[in-house]
Each structure stands twice: as structure tokens, then as C-alpha cells.
Structure 1
């Protein structure tokens, strides 16, 4: 019977009109016993689909036999990658935690592309994002420099002078607050100690641009003759930490120095210097260096 309306006559001479379009198969009345082949036809108007095992998605390119599948196993919903034989994404039904094997965010919502060491930040409460270097993230704390002393300041001078190696020429990458920490060794060489006791007071300062004192520190060392020590004595050291900070503006350059002087002494010929502390005692010999470190808080 062709798919069009027909009129037939019964044996009793009655005319009956038959519409073949009204004849159909109600699939809901059947249980399939083999694969249902739709011959590339679509399924439309589906209310709910129940999947007992998995739904496989094959490539439009028929030459690629790999597939992804949606499945659930032991409480884990997974998107399975047949090429890697494992889930690319998993969701735990108890904790709702989502696990990605790999992630990639190519652009922020502002169109920015990630560069090496960039971080992705939220730019507003609507979830918009942008890629930025960490130093440009507001309130970020980033390391800027660490310098070691390369020698000692002038010995036993009442005038402030530089500690070699602790001068930094710094150009601010962004506007913010530069926090400075100087860890300094003050030394009285044991070769200059001629009487006991000898006390020496040393002063140290952090300077910016050669004319502005940021912070200062001081130490007092009281010595004894080298023979008074079990192992023969050695240089007499003291440590001082100075903390300071300066506001910096993006693009501007600042010269930061550490200076020291012998402020007072009970013996005129005995003074101090600041910089490298060297201890010599056979295999136990070592050197310790004064340092200047800068850390930036971004506005």
C-alpha cells in the first residue's frame, strides 16, 4: 500500500477510506532484542533518556575511530577518552568534586593571553577574568632582589659610608610599597684588640637616593683578648636586622644603600666595620655575608 489515502469497497458494497499515515508502530509497546538502527535518522522530542552503561560520541571524521563516552561507575561520573583509556573528567557524586586530568584556559574574558608565570585573576564579581604577571596583582607580595656584601665598610670611621655590595639600583615594575630587610654583620677584628674590655658602638642606616634615611639600627660589641677564648678567639661579630619600607611608583628608579660607621668606642684605636664575617679555624672555617632584600607589595 503506498503512503496515500485509499478508498476500497467491501464485499457488501460499502466504501471504506483508509489513511495509511494513521497506521504506525508504538515503540513503547516493545522490548528490543537487538540493536536499533535508525539509518542516520534523528530522534526528536525526547523527554528523558536513561543510560544504563555509557553514551559514546564518535568523531565526524570517520577515519578517526577514537571516541569520548559519558558514563557512571561506582559513584563517579566520567567523560572517558578512548585514546588515553581513562577519564578526562570525573565528578564524585558524594563530594561533587570535579577532577580534570589536564586543564587549559587560552584567554581571559578580556581577551588577554597567558604568558610564562602569569596568573589568572578575577576582575569583578561576575566571574570575568584576566591573565596578569603576579607583580601586577593588587596586594600581591613578590620577591624583587637579594644582595650580598662583597667586602666591608671603612674600618673605625665616624662618617657613614657604604657597605660594598649592598647598593641596589631598583626600577619599580608597578606602583606599591617596597619592603626592605637588611641583615648585617658588625665586626671588630681580633688583631686590633689591645686591652680588655673594649666596647664599640656601631650605627647602620638604610638610605634611598643618597639623601633620605629610611631606617637605622645599632649594635654594641664588648670584646676580650683572643687568649681568653678556648679556641683562640677570632673576629668579634654582632648581627643587626633593619626593617624599612618606601613607596615606589611604576617606572621610577631608586638607589638604595646600606651605610655604617663607628659611632663610639672605649678605645680610640679599636673600631668596627660592617659586611663580611670570616671565621678561620681549620675545617670549621666559613664566611657569612651581610644581605639586603627587597619585597614588593603591589597597590
Structure 2
């Protein structure tokens, strides 16, 4: 009598099984570690969750730590809303040295013996709140004639970027010393903390550069709901690890939510605009999101009482 046996799994079969991607959606609010690029962080998280799709909401420099919102699956459609959110950075200015990159990575290009007093610093800081003109660092991702500024700077070219307006909501003096000072800034999209440190130092008649940088918040995401790479690795793959993921709607928490009925929800899910009804229905909203029974359906705008979807979520 012949007994049928199952063929042994080959290395290629095992690799195929391991590489199967999951249609999982949500946010990993990562406390990015020092000396890891944002791209590396996204790759690591995507691998840990076997996610079919992943992206991040706002690059964080390798030498910086802190909040890097990583979107999985359908959450990638909400990346623009999170990127546009308010940021909070805590950073240290090292006094007396200017560097080519405005942080510790670059070469020292100028020095000064001047060390600012606390009173002088407190007098200068208000100049850097509100809408200010800021010249980005030469070592930045801004494009100049189709080339990244940092590529040109590394090639030895003289890069002088044009100042542009940025919004600084507040700057708080956390700790002051003779050689360094810790500040916390609340700011809008496009603000370069390295440029802020450079300009504050120049306003005080000295030089300065960022020696440490931590992003404490991006939009609705803060240190309070952040997780580390170590915590993700320690959690067992499956429900335990998935429990560390924040829901998709948390990324939209700073926007108005409009709840739809079944008929409206069906129309929006097919990309169609709907008329909003009811006493509290908004007439106009530049940006908002709609839901049905707690489920995110779409982001969009309200014009003349009609919700017009821009991005529809397939959850």
C-alpha cells in the first residue's frame, strides 16, 4: 500500500510565506531612535507588520529623535493632513561654533568667544515668533535647479537658499547654561530648527548650532502615544503587536468630523459628493473628514453645504 506524503517545504516556499503582505491600516507613532533615517524606520516597521503599504508623515533627520508618524495601508492617504499639523521640537543650541550643516554633523566654519546671558536670550526670542522669514540651511532637501541642496553642498558648491516665511507659534526657554541652552519651539510646516538655532545665535552676536534635537509632537501625535522600535520587536507578531498601532482616525483628530447616514455614506464611498442635512450641518469647511458608524470614509471639503471627497478610504 502506497502512502501519499506532502512535499517538503522548500526555501522558496518558506520565503514566499514569510513575505506575504497584510492589508493592515493604522499608525505607528514611532519614537525614532538616534542615527536612524526616516526611510530605514519605515522599512523596519513595514517589515515587522508585514504591511503591504507604508509611508511617513514628515522626515526626521537621522541625528534627531522623536515622533515619526508611520502610516500603514489606508492611513497613507492621511499623510498630507498629518504633515501639515503643528510640530513641537525640543533642542539644544551649543554656543560659540557655527558648522556647515548647522548641527553636529558638519565641520566647524566659525567660532566666537561670546556666550549669551539669559536676559539677552529672553529679550531676543520674541523676535522669532509669529510669521518670520527664514533662510533654510544649505544642507537641506530643498531643490535648486532640480538638484537637492545637500547634494550641491556636499559637492562643494556654494548654496545660498532664499528666505521664506515660516510660522513660529511659541518658543520656550527650558534651560540655560554658559555653553548650551535648551529651547522648545512650537511651529508650522517647513520650519528648520537648525536655521532657527543659527539665527538666534547671530542675533545674540555669536555663533551656534544644534547639538541635540527631539520632536515631541506632529499634529495629533505626541510623545504620550509613541512606541519604540524595541517595544515593537518585543511584542509577539499578530494581535499583541497590532495593539501598538494607533487607529487611522487619530491622524485626523485635528480636523472636523462629519457623521453621515447610510445613504450619504454609500455615495461618498463611491467618490460622489453629498448634500449635508440637519440643523448642525456645516455650510463650508476647507478640510474635514466624514465617517459612518465610527468608520473613516473620506477626507475632503464642504462647499455650499455639500461634502466633496478628495480621498476615499477603503477599509
TM-score tier by shorter-chain length is under 0.3
- TM-score, normalised via structure 1 length: 0.23
User: Between Structure 1 and Structure 2, which shows a larger proportion of strand residues?
Assistant: 1
- TM-score, normalised via structure 2 length: 0.23
Q: Which has the larger radius of gyration?
A: 1
